[in-house]
Amino acid sequence: MARRSTPLLRRLLAPSPSPSASTPLAGAVSRRTVTYMPRPGDGAPRGVTLIPGDGIGPLVTGAVRQVMEAMHAPVYFETYEVRGDMPTVPAEVIESIRRNKVCLKGGLATPVGGGVSSLNMQLRKELDLYAALVNCFNLPGLPTRHDNVDIVVIRENTEGEYSGLEHEVVPGVVESLKVITKFCSERIAKYAFEYAFLNNRKKVTAVHKANIMKLADGLFLESCREVAKKYPGIQYNEIIVDNCCMQLVAKPEQFDVMVTPNLYGNLVANVAAGNVGQDHAIFEQGASAGNVGNEKIVEKKRANPVALLLSSAMMLRHLQFPSFADRLETAVKRVIAEGKYRTKDLGGTSTTQEVTDAVIAKLG
């Protein structure tokens, strides 16, 4: 058997002739470039915990599922029904997110007042989702007041005014504590500068109110300054939050990456978002995690799926599927640029399903 294999081995080990100009594939081989080399195991389907949520949530998460199926993305969903009025996030949902390490979520309504805890905050604390990342940018085909906007807001997600430490001192007097720690401030600053470094961003701006909250926001700024020294190639500056809001309205193109404590980031960032921790990530649309639309939009099925589709592209990139993420983003941008299918908030009359079908048709 070994002797019969010898000629085959010789042929396999012999140097292959170089392609000549007459070889049909020669030109193609010389021009070929590799844009993405998958790592071993990247092709394996990944489990994703899916929480459709309240209001428009089932509509827009349904759109994402259809697009994922159409593009044969290597993900599968474990779906759990969670409502914002539940007292806690069910244990099996937390277990699923811990196992899959990734979750896609529609909006969960947060009851106002009454001492009811936000399930969005429960998820962030339970999974230590310390960084909320929001990317706000111009889409070709959508006329806006400002051009050349491409801002990334990175928000500390676990402390500050959202610590939930409140109590009634005496009847009619409530005290709410804002907690800022050096550990969390340094952690979010490192995340912001590392993100800027890895994504070829030029500037990081720290948003604060240290002129009034000198100790709390002062500690946040001190932490950002210390981290900034380790990234000399990235410009660093600071801006007071009220001036920041005015500048975002007047001249948003001046900002690149912004790093903020919890509350300020919630005020300035509202587009497509992901909440990221050391081991887990939840992807959702922006305009606050409790954005569930109104009953009229739900009844007419005219919710805009674009934000969650873009968030799901972020998810695919997080899962190391950049080619699928690129296909999805390109298809969404082509639909927006064409202008034929748009929901009412973008000046059109299309339903969620019509926009979804248009995106699927553009996947190519």
Ordered by where they begin, the domains of the chain are: 42-129+279-363 (3.40.718.10), 130-278 (3.40.718.10)
Q: Which amino acid is present at 8?
A: L
What pLDDT was estimated at residue 70?
96
Give residue 223's Cα distance to chain centre.
24
pTM of the predicted model as reported, rounded to 2 decimal places: 0.81
Give the Å distances, CA to CA, from 251 to 85, 135, 139, 272, 286. 39, 17, 17, 21, 21
Answer yes or no: are the C-beta atoms of 193 and 204 closer than 8 Å. yes
What pLDDT was estimated at residue 161?
85
Residues 302-325 have pLDDT tens digits of 999 999 999 999 999 999 999 999
Answer yes or no: are the C-beta atoms of 301 and 63 closer than 8 Å. no
Query: What is the band of 295 on the pLDDT scale with cuts at 50, 70, 90?
Result: confident
- Provide the H-helix boundaries in the chain: 2-13, 26-31, 57-70, 91-100, 119-126, 182-198, 216-228, 241-250, 262-268, 295-300, 306-318, 322-338, 352-361
User: Beta-carbon neighbour count of residue 199 at 10 Å?
Assistant: 11
Q: Which residue has the higher pLDDT, 169 or 42?
A: 169
For 206, the token pair is 């720290």
Q: Please compute, for residue 54, the number of CA atoms within 13 A of its CA located in the half-sphere on the CB side.
A: 18
If you average pLDDT over residues 292-301, what whole number do you get?
83
- Within 8 A by CB and 6+ apart from 209, the residues are 217, 240, 241, 242, 264
What pLDDT was estimated at residue 12?
37
- Whether pLDDT at 271 is above 60: no
Residues 100-142 have pLDDT tens digits of 999 999 988 877 655 556 888 889 989 999 999 988 888 888 8
User: Beta-carbon neighbour count of residue 293 at 10 Å?
Assistant: 20
- Whether pLDDT at 291 is above 70: no
What pLDDT was estimated at residue 16?
41
Answer yes or no: are the C-beta atoms of 158 and 229 closer than 8 Å. no
Which of 272-286, 287-301, 322-336 is the least confident region? 287-301
Residues 189-213 have pLDDT tens digits of 999 999 999 999 999 999 999 999 9
- Report the alpha-carbon distance of residue 41 to residue 38 in Å, rounded: 8
**Measured distance between the N- and C-terminal CA atoms of the chain, rounded to whole angstroms:** 49
What pLDDT was estimated at residue 6?
39
Residues 17-63 have pLDDT tens digits of 433 333 333 333 333 333 333 444 456 899 999 999 999 999 999 99
Taking CA 133 as the corner, what is the angle to CA 128 and CA 139, rounded to the nearest 5 degrees? Answer: 155
